[in-house]
Structure 1
Amino acid sequence: MTVHGVPEGLAAERVTRRAGGRLIVDGITLAPRPGSTVGLLGPNGSGKSTLLRLLSGVLAPAAGVVTLDGVPLPRLGRRTTARRLAVVDQHATTQVELTVRDVVALGRVPHRRPWSGGTPEDERAIEDALARTSLTDRADQSWHTLSGGERQRAHIARALAQAPRELLLDEPTNHLDIQHQLDLLTLIAGLPVTTVIALHDLNLAAMFCDEILVLKEGRAYAHGTPADVITEPLIAEVYGVRTRVTPPDPADPLDHPSVRFLRS
């Protein structure tokens, strides 16, 4: 979407990234509709995590550009970008002894002046993020004593406390049981933000994503709605496995493709 000819929100234009002498991300263009949920699919090594780091500004593209409202990320600066865009990495960790509340409160740092204390707005954002991720009763517990799934939810709460307009998540359902996977993705898909989320589970992507970008060897292999993208031929070509895909019921706008994997 554009406003007066300027792209609105987060956009990547033909971004490329090299590492170890090879292309990790090769000329990918992505401009999510504001408020939509875009899933990144592809096997390990296809470039999903690297693309997310390019979109966040953590990595600089070798070619191409990532923009927010038409402005390249380097021109905006890290602090301004952090007020707009939150990131949940796949393996976020810390050696510092922090409570869950401390971790979530880190999301408010971009909104504070240097050396200033918390505000009532900060406290409301922290409490709301804890409640949304079902961590209120863990707020004063050490982050290091949490299970893997609880740690992941704490980092998602930190991102929510940041009050972003764009949210990037790298396989956030790792370490979560089925109920928390569904609860988390229901929460994320219902947020009034633009979300780009890397996933491995094709059925979860079909259920919760408005659009899907499939990566293969660093390139955009397919891009479209779940019904357009999640097909037996595509899964065989990209993942090398046999499946049976049940297409969505045209009479049910909430229905989605369903994938059943077959033994070789």
Structure 2
Amino acid sequence: MTLSAERVSRAAGGRLILDGVDLSPRPGAMTGLLGPNGSGKSTLLRLLAGVLAPASGVVTLDGRPLDRIGRRDVARRIAVVEQQADTQVELTVLDVVRLGRIPHRRAWAPASAVDEEAVAEAMARTGLTGQADRLWHTLSGGERQRVQIARALAQRPRELLLDEPTNHLDIQHQLDVLALVAALPTTSVVALHDLNLAAMYCDHLVVLSEGRVVASGGPAEVLTADLVAEVYGVRAEVTGTGPGGRPHVRFLGTLTSGPTGG
């Protein structure tokens, strides 16, 4: 068993952000969370991480309600990569990645050989080995994102939650990051805007619209021209010409505009 959200709802400012959402990521698989801005993706990820509590419904981990599990135990299992992270403290890349080991260490205890091995492995997998001494505030947005992913991997989590991990990354690094996440032996939930990247790398897709799940299933099942029109207000052509026969979405224009051409 792994993470599961059952009929979760959450409101803020008098507005219902999530309305009775169910989500049960497949163990060891990569689930893509899709939907336009304001659909509730980030809020759902925070509920899964235990950062927010649902107004109704329950989030469970291995069948146990998340709010009945100690924060350290949750942190040892679940790693989170937010859209943006910043600090005024002068930290190096190595310092930031080492933060991922905090849930596994007792207070004031020095890093163990296992800690250092996990950190080195995470930096190698994200291509940061040669940048250990660089200062955080000198990094570009894309470089910071890679460091945050390395920090999450250093936790050696069984569940990994990522909120738009490809933001600020060029195309090569978008592909590298998602290929890395897809190859991990973790249960991953990844919020994405790019439908074609989701189709390429995700095993399962869940689409949110106005706080509700409107579609879930495999990429070929979920990504249809009708769904793109309904959820995004965009005319599209969906073919099975992507890598491995996965669907590819070609956008033709908004529903209120003419063809874009090309």
- The aligned counterpart of 2:93 is 100
* Residue 252 of structure 2, aligned match among 216, 241, 262: 262
Distance 2:57 2:176 in 1: 36
Distance 1:13 1:244 in 2: 33
**Counterpart check, 1:66 vs 2:59:** yes
C-alpha spacing 1:248/1:228, structure 2 compared with 1 (3 Å): farther
- The aligned counterpart of 1:205 is 198
- The aligned counterpart of 1:12 is 5
- The aligned counterpart of 1:5 is none
Identity of aligned residues (%): 69
Distance 2:247 2:88 in 1: 42
1:227–1:248 contact (8 Å) kept in structure 2: no
Runs of at least 5 residues in structure 2 that lack an aligned partner in the other structure: 258-262
CA deviations over 1:169-205 (Å, ceiling 9, x no partner): 0000000000000011000000000000000000000
Aligned length: 254
TM-score (norm 2): 0.95
Distance 1:231 1:77 in 2: 41
**Counterpart check, 1:132 vs 2:128:** no
TM-score (norm 1): 0.94
Aligned partner of residue 86 in structure 2, secondary structure: coil
Give RMSD over aligned pairs. Answer: 1.1
C-alpha deviation, 1:134, in angstroms: 0.5
1:46–1:218 contact (8 Å) kept in structure 2: yes
CA deviations over 1:196-245 (Å, ceiling 9, x no partner): 00000000000000110000000001001000111101000000011111
C-alpha deviation, 1:247, in angstroms: 2.6
* Residue 151 of structure 2, aligned match among 137, 150, 158: 158
Read off the aligned partner of 1:167 and give its amino acid letter.
Answer: L
- The aligned counterpart of 2:260 is none
* Residue 70 of structure 2, aligned match among 65, 77, 81: 77
Pairing 1:85-124 to 2, within 5 Å after superposition: 85-124=78-117
Aligned partner of residue 242 in structure 1, secondary structure: strand
C-alpha deviation, 1:248, in angstroms: 5.3
Read off the aligned partner of 1:159 and give its amino acid letter.
Answer: A
C-alpha deviation, 1:74, in angstroms: 1.2
Distance 1:16 1:96 in 2: 36
Distance 1:190 1:179 in 2: 17
Runs of at least 5 residues in structure 1 that lack an aligned partner in the other structure: 1-7
* Residue 40 of structure 1, aligned match among 22, 33, 41: 33
Q: Structure 1: which 4+ aligned runs deviate by more than 2 Å?
A: none
C-alpha deviation, 1:115, in angstroms: 1.3
**Counterpart check, 1:191 vs 2:191:** no
